Amino acid sequence: EKRVDSFAIVNALARRDKKASWVEFEKVRKTGSAMEEVHGTVFWGFKTMLIASVMDKQAAIRSGVKELSYRTYSVLAKNYSILELKDKMSSLKDIYHKGHRGEGALEELLEEFILSN
């Protein structure tokens, strides 16, 4: 079974490519991947972009960000303001908790998030 790369969703979201992010999400969904894993990957991507926006390279690396991730996501982070990145992080946190409190299916909440970006 071919494993689908959920980082493709993050990269498409980071480029603000709504169509590509949804297509990649559908590929991941069709494989039956755990939505917690997909959510975690998306959360990680936005967190890394936020860190790359507010920290220099050395500080980010000391905080645990890999150099390649910093280089990649510092460029992509320029597609968002710091406030937008903070808002995305907040939305992703809310989605996770709503999904686990039964206030919606995590899969549907995540898809809504992807389509709203």
The series of mean pLDDT values per 10 residues for the chain, 117 residues long, is: 78 96 94 92 96 96 96 96 97 96 96 94
- Tokens coding 8: 């493709």
Amino acid identity of residue 84, one-letter, is: E
Query: Distance between CA 106 and CA 114 in Å, rounded?
Result: 12
Helix (H) or strand (E) holding 7: helix 7-14
Q: Is the whole model's pTM more than 0.95, yes or no?
A: no
Number of helices followed by number of strands (H, E) in the chain: 7, 0
* DSSP structure class, residue 46: H
Total residues found in the chain within this entry:
117
